[in-house]
A and B are shown apart, each in its own frame.
Chain A
Amino acid sequence: MGQYVTEIRCGGAVAVDDTIQVKGYETRAGSRILEGFRPLFSAEAVERLERAGYEIAGKSAVGEFGLDLLGEFAHGGANLDASGALRGAAAELVAAGSVKGALCVDLNGTPRRAAALSGVDFLKPTYGTVSRYGVIPCACSGEQIGVTAKAAGEVRELLRVIAGHDPKDGTSLPTETYSYNDGKAVAGMRVGLVRELSAAASDAVQARVTNCAGRLRGLGATVDEISLPLSDAARTAWNLLLCAETCNNVSRYDGVKFGYRSPDYRNIDELYVNSRTEGLNFLTKAVILYGSDVLSKGRYFTCYDKALKVRRLVWEQVKALFKDYDALLCPACAETAYRPYDIKDAFATVFAESLFTAVPNLTGLPAMVSGGVQFFADTLQEGTLLNLAEALEGGSAK
């Protein structure tokens, strides 16, 4: 466990989620199936940090492939303890001041949820702005590296370093650098409060959102309640795509070339089956079964292809809202604290919670959590999100 960040360090070191490769560090993505896997190269985002002079503090803990709620189902120790506190996760390391910031992969809202619970910031930028080269792949069409940090200024600083075109990533957008200084000012900003998402959260979280809306009005923004009727369909579509893509991506882990190999086999089929049976947890297996079902013959057009159509409809619906609003305000999760639960319930639990986070994963739009609430913005409008967070944190809005 020596590579994981366990002690308080001062200064500007950055933690990297275990779903992101760092050369020389064992990269397990929280799974036994990758035990002993030492990547031959660092992720592009990590290389950019190192080139800019940042020290890599070590790996921050994630649940298996980042598929769970908060890292509660990691091989080698849960991130969520009985009291409901996070342990070893990026958000907790940042909150404790152990690191300046962290790179986290947002594939189903986990780092946003963790940031909301720990009271720190997380920004998932527009899909294609930060290279995915070196991310242990799961849901390629929507997963994105983002930055966890204590304040918006640090998020902006780190994101500037890691964002920009990477020829190694075919989905990388062509822009070479991003300043994130081009956001709308909060005074005069038009914010839409998403009715369906707010209503689905607990009273405590709803109170947070209402309070935030009040403070924004005090800063000169207008806040209207708006409706995003497709948010539920967005959740279903994203979870369907995520399961299909993850099922496909983890099928390369066979116990042969790298990672965990079961000691118990008599032939090649047993080697495959036993390595996977022992190497993957219940949640990942559920994702594999669901994902392979929605891609099977006869189901592709009724499931997968429909999800792609929903993706387009949600995109159109959100884009229409951004004609009238600069940002959308909503909860990042349903509760203000979570307790450990049985892994057999994980699939349903993650599905339920991803209601609040699925739209940005499905559409590739940027999303930011700050002060325990969440904002969505239009494509490449990270500057607006950072201005909102900065203003609410009491800094000067740019």
Chain B
Amino acid sequence: MPERWETVIGLEVHVELSTKSKIFCACSTAFGGSPNTHCCPVCMGLPGTLPVLNQKVLEYAVRAGLALHCTIDRETRFDRKNYFYPDLPKAYQISQLYRPIARGGYVDIGGKRIRIHEMHMEEDAGKLIHSDYGHETYPDYNRAGVPLLEIVSEPDFRYGAEVVAYLEKIRSLFTYLGISDCKMQEGSMRADVNLSVRRVGESGYGTRTETKNINSLRAIEHAIESERSRQIHILSGGGAVVQETRHWNDDTKSSTAMRSKENAPDYRYFPEPDLPVIHISEDFLQTARDSLPEFAEARQARFVSEYGIPEKHAARLTVRRETAELFEAVVSHGADARDAANWLIVHVPHVLRTLSEGVEDIAPDAAELAELIRSTEGGAVSRADGLQILEALLSAEGPFRVADYIREHGMSVENDEGALEDVIRRVIEANPKAVGEYHSGKTKAIGFLIGQAMKELKGKSTPAAVHERMEAALK
């Protein structure tokens, strides 16, 4: 009978913060840019320069720590981590070892809790560009000094899928906080995998390896599977796993040993004398707590209960904070929630694909999008026309009026005063719950009533007119 093995994984995740300037100088953090154009004497490590902490980095780090349910150290400080490599101009990295900003948090993925050991702030190193034809290596210090958070988990993962879910959760939390874009391909989110295996039932840990250079979620699953098999193969044959750092090659789907424990660098950490101890006040902490947004999970549950949309749709709408906010704005402008969800999940991404744009590149006017959804779902314009209008709306450079577009393209909307009054009266009678909510101060409820009226009118009025009459009728 074959032996059964369990994989034990811990993760070190680096996330680049999206502050405008670097952590210790005023240089831009913009991705790309010609080599060595976002540099100054400070991030080039020239003698005589001194670091000054960017307060935004501290603010972002505190908010991240709170989102990860960590305890924030009210007295945190930086340390110097010594290593000599051409990508590091000072020959030391300003990081945190002894007093990290945050400790002891957790992230829940599905039904499982992954514990966070600690989270700290540090500066990124530069990049080395190796010449294709010669033996030359060119250092580019644009990235040197870009602020990073490093999140160190406890060895709580057992499967690659848990690791992926954890990274997706961190990406969701941090993009909701607006502190990082967490793009693995651009290197703004990186993960090192610490992995060991043990026979099922054993309680101790096996010898672990650390795998670096993993650049996508797919690669991380491959790397975990590959390392797990490699270690099981060694142990099954009676061998011993060597504690070492390994380098993942995504082209060959295999890793190679970089350095063993014996020649692992001694980083000789010591407190950074150029930066004073940071005292985090209760006010600062409270402001950070108050600024935490409603995160994806809570918002998803609320969407289901408040708007009555299916769980699956609520999950899709809350992947990105911007989409979730757009959804609520569109509904508050009178679009039916189910219709709005459908448009944002199906039609908008479809049109964006034909425009070859990313969902992060657009911010359509919610009122206009609501009007378009109502007009189309109410039957005033055909679905094909609706999608054509959507494409025009999403690619518009300046202000865009759906009503004008409809008129200009011969899809003008009739105005039937008698029908309007009639419909409004019927909608109010048929929806006492929403009317009650409106009168008790939940003015958002008017959006639902307008939506119902527009549906009945089949587009035979303008939302502005319906809004005006509805408000008057509710008084």
Q: Which residues of B sit under 8 angstroms from A249, Cβ to Cβ?
A: 47
Q: B50 near A170 (CB under 8 angstroms)?
A: yes
Q: Which residues of A sit under 8 angstroms from B45, Cβ to Cβ?
A: 252
Min distance, Cβ A173 to any Cβ of chain B, angstroms: 10
Q: Look across to chain B and name the residue whose beta carbon is closest to the beta carbon of A308.
A: B271
Question: Looking at the complex, which of A52-60, A178-186, A291-299 is the stretch in contact with chain B?
Answer: A291-299
A236 within 8 Å of B (CB atoms): no
Question: Looking at the complex, which of A38-46, A113-121, A193-201, A319-327 is the stretch in contact with chain B?
Answer: A38-46
A141 within 8 Å of B (CB atoms): yes
- Contact A169:B50 (CB < 8 A) given known A251-B84, A251-B91: yes
CA distance A256 to B137 in the complex (A): 13
Q: Which residues of B sit under 8 angstroms from A169, Cβ to Cβ?
A: 50, 52, 274
Q: B80 near A170 (CB under 8 angstroms)?
A: no
- With beta carbons under 8 angstroms apart, the residue of B46, B53, B82 that contacts A39 is B46
- Contact A170:B276 (CB < 8 A) given known A40-B46, A133-B50, A257-B89: yes
Q: Look across to chain A and name the residue whose beta carbon is closest to the beta carbon of B88.
A: A252
B41 within 8 Å of A (CB atoms): yes
A21 within 8 Å of B (CB atoms): yes
Q: B49 near A133 (CB under 8 angstroms)?
A: yes
* A contact face: mostly helix, strand, loop, or mixed: loop
B275 within 8 Å of A (CB atoms): yes
- Contact A296:B276 (CB < 8 A) given known A41-B41, A133-B50: no
CA distance A252 to B44 in the complex (A): 10
Min distance, Cβ A83 to any Cβ of chain B, angstroms: 34
Q: Look across to chain B and name the residue whose beta carbon is closest to the beta carbon of A34.
A: B47
Q: B91 near A137 (CB under 8 angstroms)?
A: no
A341 within 8 Å of B (CB atoms): no
- B24-67 CB contacts (< 8 Å) to partner A: 41, 44-53
Q: B270 near A300 (CB under 8 angstroms)?
A: yes
Min distance, Cβ B154 to any Cβ of chain A, angstroms: 23
B269 within 8 Å of A (CB atoms): yes
- Contact A39:B92 (CB < 8 A) given known A140-B274, A171-B276: no
A89 within 8 Å of B (CB atoms): no
Min distance, Cβ A37 to any Cβ of chain B, angstroms: 8
Interface size class of B (residues with CB under 8 A): 20 to 34
- With beta carbons under 8 angstroms apart, the residue of A135, A245, A248 that contacts B48 is A135
Min distance, Cβ B264 to any Cβ of chain A, angstroms: 10
Q: Which residues of A sit under 8 angstroms from B47, Cβ to Cβ?
A: 21, 34, 37, 39, 136-137, 249, 252
CA distance A251 to B90 in the complex (A): 7
Q: Which residues of A sit under 8 angstroms from B49, Cβ to Cβ?
A: 133
CA distance A168 to B91 in the complex (A): 21
Q: Which residues of B sit under 8 angstroms from A140, Cβ to Cβ?
A: 273-274
Min distance, Cβ B140 to any Cβ of chain A, angstroms: 13
- A231-261 CB contacts (< 8 Å) to partner B: 244-245, 248-249, 251-252, 254, 256-258
B262 within 8 Å of A (CB atoms): no
Q: Which residues of A sit under 8 angstroms from B44, Cβ to Cβ?
A: 257
Min distance, Cβ A238 to any Cβ of chain B, angstroms: 13
B268 within 8 Å of A (CB atoms): yes
Min distance, Cβ B83 to any Cβ of chain A, angstroms: 9
- Contact A295:B270 (CB < 8 A) given known A251-B92, A252-B45: yes
Interface residues of A (CB under 8 A from B): 21, 34, 37, 39-41, 43, 132-137, 140-141, 167-171, 244-245, 248-249, 251-252, 254, 256-258, 292, 295-297, 300, 304, 308
Interface residues of B (CB under 8 A from A): 41, 44-53, 80, 82, 84, 86, 89-92, 266, 268-271, 273-276
Given contacts A39-B46, A245-B273, 9 further A-B contacts (CB under 8 A): A43-B48, A132-B274, A167-B52, A169-B52, A171-B274, A245-B270, A248-B80, A295-B82, A295-B269
30 pairs, A vs B, C-beta closer than 8 Å: A21-B48, A34-B47, A37-B47, A39-B46, A39-B47, A40-B46, A41-B48, A133-B49, A134-B48, A135-B48, A136-B47, A136-B48, A137-B274, A141-B273, A170-B50, A170-B51, A170-B275, A245-B273, A248-B80, A248-B82, A248-B268, A251-B82, A251-B84, A252-B47, A256-B86, A258-B46, A295-B82, A296-B268, A297-B266, A304-B270
